[in-house]
Amino acid sequence: MDVLELEQYRGDRFSLEEIDRVFEKQQARRLAVAETGARERKQKIRRLHDALLSRRDEIRQALWDDYRKPPAEVDLSEIFPVLAEARHAMRQVRSWTRPRRVPAPLALLGSRSRVVYEPKGVVLIISPWNFPINLTLGPLVSAIAAGNCAILKPSEMTPHASACMQRLLRDLFDESEVAVIEGDARVAEALLKKKFDHIFFTGSPAVGKIVMRAAAEHLTSVTLELGGKSPVIVDRTGDLDEAAKKIAWGKSLNSGQVCIAPDYILVDENVRAPFLEKLRAMPATETSLLINERHAARISRLAQGATPGGRKIPLTILEDVLPDEEIFGPLLPVISYRDLDEALRIVNDREKPLVLYLFSRDRRVINRVLQRTRAGGTVINDTLVHFYQVNLPFGGVGESGFGKAHGRWGFEAFSNARAVLEQPTRFSMIQLLYPPYTAFKQKLIDFTLRYL
């Protein structure tokens, strides 16, 4: 499909009237989808899982056409995370959907309580351009596991990836259950005017605020996965060879266009020189282009002329410079610190990061950093790999977002935890405290306040 055909396809299919039609179809279908059990949801996820494997070459080609993303990077950073999420969900969805019994306090002796996880309904997933497959279909797995209908709005900046997902999901699901809506900011604005039951947004803090304001109009819950100036602290006890290798990989992947990429390095001044030597010696890796000329110009401006022109920019080390904005590119500022307190001060003077990286072999340093900082996540002696751990919650805090994704946390994000309490029909302990409030009942109330 060439560019002209792609534009015609998108324009013909997704007018604002079509958005209304698809939204209404999903509203009409939501209760039937909500009533599906774990077995049916597992089958849907299995279809998605198998389609990703069978259409791997098509996905690779789409990302290459969008911004020359190498096939190996597509495999590892786009396809594999969704496959891992799908496999985990298929193994666990039965236990996730099972009602969870909870004990009753003594004051409610005789009652029975449980938590029932029910679907939220019709959800909207708005995804970014940097990992269009991963960050669209990963949340979709969670939404399906929870029993929802879903409308997906991928980024218009990666049109081939969006069209690829459109074809893939159209073959797997009726649009009354899962639909892809392509288009620009006007389409996103039209979608945000709808009363969705949950919105899952991945992108910049600036756009996240727009999404949250729109959601507030309908009191719609949101999960926001936003950017974050993720720092790296390299302690004097850290393995410098490992630190250089892992930081260079974490910053080079996708040309640094990763929300959890190392944003800047704080290195102990005692090991600065050998660390920089090792970092500069890291071999260049094959990676993608920057997404467009505008983004490339922004990166060149932040580098103050230290990079070549064009959209292919190598990993560039900047010494003693720390831009105020999130870099989101292959620039790596390195700043030395005299003692750990100074490093922690630099981290804590900024917004809470999406992730904090630490390279250290000193348990006291590790514990001190964990106790004295706040971050969405923390990785010790590595970078990026926590995204692949489906048994950990993924998400930010404050400016870097809120709400958690992956595994059970993703399932819960798209679910309503419904509290159910059943009392005996004839008598319950709480009735002893009903009015009239006699002296005897006041003693019971006093006892309750003190001991129950």
In this predicted model, what pLDDT tens digit does every residue of 68-92 receive, in sequence order?
A: 999 999 999 999 999 999 999 999 9
Out of 177, 259, 351, 412, which one is annotated catalytic?
259
d(CA 144, CA 380): 33
The phi and psi torsions of 75 (rounded to 5 degrees) equal -60, -50
Q: Which of 182, 225, 326, 399 is catalytic?
A: 225
- DSSP H or E run through 439: helix 439-451
CA distance 180 to 124: 10
Which of 387, 290, 315, 256 has the alpha carbon at shortest distance from 66? 290
**Is 164 annotated as catalytic?**
no
**What pLDDT is stored for residue 451 in this prediction?**
85
3-class SS letters over 356-383:
EEEECCCHHHHHHHHHHCCCCEEEECCC
- Of 445 and 365, which is predicted with more confidence? 365
Is the Cβ–Cβ distance between 288 and 255 less than 8 Å?
Answer: yes
Per-residue confidence (pLDDT) for residue 305, from 0 to 100: 72
Percent of the chain with pLDDT strictly greater than 70: 97
Residue 9 predicted with pLDDT over 50? no
Question: What's the average model confidence in pLDDT over 175-200?
Answer: 96
Residue 22 and residue 419: Cα distance in Å, rounded?
Answer: 32
CA distance linking residue 317 with residue 117, whole number of Å: 48
Question: Any idea what DSSP says for residue 329?
Answer: S
For the ranges 162-166, 339-343, 363-367, 421-425, which has the lowest average pLDDT? 421-425
User: Which residue would you say has higher pLDDT here, 108 or 164?
Assistant: 164
Whether the predicted pLDDT of 54 surpasses 60: yes
160-169 residue pLDDT tens = 999 999 999 9
Question: What is the C-alpha separation between 137 and 59, in angstroms, rounded?
Answer: 12
Q: Which of 9-13, 201-205, 353-357 has the lowest mean pLDDT?
A: 9-13
- What average pLDDT does this structure show over 57-71? 97
Catalytic residue status for 259:
yes
Q: How confident is the model at residue 322 (pLDDT cuts 50, 70, 90)?
A: confident
Q: How far is CA 271 from CA 4, 242, 276, 278, 368, in A?
A: 54, 14, 9, 11, 20
Asked if pLDDT for residue 122 goes beyond 90, the answer is: yes
Q: Partners of 126 in the beta sheet?
A: 153, 201
Q: Could you tell me how far CA 70 lies from the centroid of its own chain?
A: 23
Q: Average per-residue pLDDT in the chain?
A: 93
373 sits in the region (left: phi over 0; alpha: psi -120 to 50; else beta) called beta
Q: With bands split at pLDDT 50, 70 and 90, how would you rate the model's confidence at 15?
A: confident
Task: Give the torsion sign (CA, 428, 430, 432, 435).
Answer: negative
| Torsion, Cα of 440, 441, 444, 450 (10° steps) | -110
| pLDDT for position 3 | 37
Please give the pLDDT value at position 6.
38
| Burial class for 319, CB neighbours closer than 10 Å (0-12, 13-18, 19+) | exposed
Helix boundaries (H) for 146-256:
159-172, 185-192, 205-217, 240-252
Provide the pairing of β-strand 221-225 with 401-402: antiparallel
pLDDT band for position 432 (50/70/90)?
A: confident
> In terms of pTM, does the model score above 0.85?
yes
Q: What percent of the chain has pLDDT over 90?
A: 85
State pLDDT tens for residues 367-401. Answer: 999 999 999 999 999 999 999 999 999 999 999 99
Collapsing DSSP to helix, strand or coil, 261 comes out as coil
The answer to whether the CB of 337 falls within 8 A of the CB of 268 is: yes
Write down the pLDDT at residue 303. Answer: 86
Spatial distance between the Cα atoms of 373 and 327, rounded to a whole number of angstroms: 21
Mean pLDDT of 46-52: 98
Looking at residue 14, its pLDDT comes to 61
Cα–Cα distance for residue pair 340/369, rounded to 1 Å:
9
Query: What is the rounded distance in angstroms from the CA atom of residue 37 to the CA atom of residue 44?
Result: 11
Helix (H, G, I), strand (E, B) or coil at 111: coil
Domains of the chain as residue ranges with CATH:
3-226+405-416 (3.40.605.10), 231-395 (3.40.309.10)
